[in-house]
Chain A
Amino acid sequence: MHPRDLLDEAMAGMLARPVRSALTTLGTVLGITTLVITLGVAATAGNQIVGRFDELVATSVTVEVPEDAAKPLVGWDAVAQVTRLRGVTSAEALGESKKSANLSVRSNNLLDPTRVTDQTLSVVAAGPALPAAVKGRLLQGRFYDAGHLARKDPVVVLGQQAAKMLGVTRLDRAPAVFIGNHAYTVIGILGDLRREKNLAGAVLVPPTIGKRFGLTTVTRVLINTSLGAADLIARQAPLALSPGNEGMLQVLSPPSPTRARDGVQDDVNALFLILGLVSLVVGAVGIANVTLVTVMERVSEIGLRRSLGAARRHIAAQFLLESTLTGLTGGVIGASLGVAAIVAVSAAKQWTPVLDARLAVAAPLAGALVGLLAGLYPALRAARMEPVDALR
């Protein structure tokens, strides 16, 4: 028997009763659709959350340095040791203290009874690489550099909010702010911070100036890594910053992406996977049932085929192929519906749909497998039939 003939006969058998065949595929369609949606939406949602982490959190590492009265655990120049680590894109040290968090700052020395000129702002000491470390940009002016530090220039950079509160809008006349009794030249305004957004309301001073406000030691180191390097840098940074005291430093690193993804999938999947599998089993039972009915209805056709020279295996192969094709059809329709549903859900939630190509291929195959298994018993019954009985 030519394989094409076998296929033709099976197709003709299936298409002879199109409505029944369509109804038969329904169970498989439901099962496969449920499975594809479950796996697809979970993958999409999981990837979505990871994608959000990827942007910022997954690359941010913060090292907290506890205050130690005896000697500073991390020096201001230790940041250079972190910056040279492979995988670090930028890093800078900050010095903050409770005392300097509420300092009175004003933009001129006039006493104006009609206005509140004093603002209570936090003064933070930071190294010159801070704009990169907080992923911000200078709205005006410039940030201080190594030269300012070396000369101990009395300069400050204001955070965006702080500048607004102090009424500093232009830098071309070199405005000054008064902290305590001393004046400091404002050389830049830092804004659009994506990390440490509270610094937008702070006055940033070079470490050399910070000493005047008691900001002698580094309390925090901000590190940005390239994607995927956060775990490694989180382990290496304490060693680089403070060899010998690395255990005393506290590292805040992002949750590992795999854990985030697993968490999401575990929540969504289990129930729906079971639901999909149950639907598949129901679909298989449906196919088996209908195929069995079909076999019983087509007894005389089986007899005729045997009289035309069909061997038992030809009969079995035909019914097996019919049920497999039924399952495959259900699988193809189910996979299509599932993919469409994933795209629709993604569109509604403004996610990027994540479609595993293997899933799109495996789903129809799973349907075909269901059909094949469901067809085994009916095909066996058909093949076992004696031609004499079948023709009676």
Chain B
Amino acid sequence: MPDDPPVIELDELTKEFPTEPPVRALSEVRLSVRRSDYLAIVGPSGSGKSTLLNVLGLLDRPTRGSYRLDGIETTTMRDGARTKLRGSRIGFVFQSFHLLPHRSVVENVMLAEVYGRHPRRGRRERALRALEQVGLSHRVDFLPDRLSGGERQRAAIARALLGRPSLLLCDEPTGNLDSRNTAAVLDLFDELRAQGLTIVVITHETEVSDRAERRVRITDGVLAEV
């Protein structure tokens, strides 16, 4: 569908932190990510990766420039609207999973539909389906601390998938995993991408970035295709 707007479109996006002297974390970044793209953003620590992720995830505002998500200009939006957009279009996958320790796996997944306009009816069934999608049907009623790292990350991915996001935004998703679990998560990303999901992964592991079809490197806030 060539008429579709890109999922992510960054135009001269700049982020400066008001320290003395000002730190420019992102410098006139241009980036376009189309639907079903699988993009890896690599770079050393302190290069601006996390800042880019925060801006892409609508957690932080850029100083200048434009960021269109699904064709919607986000930089001029008010806080509330950005929060709604974040909840409905972006699924986050964190390095440390961020699963609530006292809730079962399925309850953690169901949390994705608590905010925003989702019907309560059928929520559990949808969560079970998302868990099935990540191959975790046998663990639905476990508490997170009974799961292996890979299983935890898959539960977190199921949570991210529940809101049917346009974009899966992953911040070092395999940073806390051993190689076997890393491979399982990367296999899952491949599957999801094949189903048409747009995935952006921030990583410093070549093992992860090699699996992506497209790589960009960020160095001192400047983005370049690899």
Contact = CB atoms under 8 A, between A and B. Distances in A.
14 contacts: A1-B114, A5-B120, A9-B114, A16-B101, A17-B102, A304-B92, A306-B59, A307-B98, A309-B84, A310-B87, A310-B114, A311-B84, A388-B54, A388-B59
Interface string B106-118: 0100011011100
A52 to B, nearest CB: 57
Contacts of A307: 57, 59, 86, 90, 92, 98
Given A5-B120, A300-B96, A301-B100, A308 B111 contact: yes
A274 B8 CA distance: 63
B112 A308 contact: yes
Interface in A306-357: 306-312, 314
A304 B98 contact: yes
A317 to B, nearest CB: 11
Contact of A310 (B54, B83, B102, B120): B83
A391 B87 contact: no
A308 B100 contact: no
Contacts of B116: 1, 309
Interface string B94-106: 1010101111000
A305 interface: yes
B74 interface: no
A309 B98 contact: no
B60 interface: yes
Interface string B189-203: 000000000000000
Given A309-B115, A310-B83, A388-B59, A16 B102 contact: yes
A300 B102 contact: no
A12 B83 contact: no
B120 A305 contact: no
Question: Chain B contact residues (Cβ within 8 angstroms of A): what range?
Answer: 20 to 34
Given A307-B86, A309-B87, A314 B115 contact: yes
A303 interface: yes
A312 B86 CA distance: 13
B80 interface: yes
Interface in B66-86: 79-80, 83-84, 86
A308 B115 contact: yes
Contact of A5 (B84, B94, B102, B114): B114
Which 9 residue pairs of A and B lie closest in terms of their CB atoms, listed nearest first?
A309-B87, A16-B102, A309-B115, A304-B98, A307-B92, A310-B115, A387-B59, A5-B114, A388-B59
Contacts of A300: 96, 98
A31 B83 CA distance: 41
B88 interface: yes
Interface in A105-156: none
Given A5-B120, A12-B103, A388 B83 contact: no
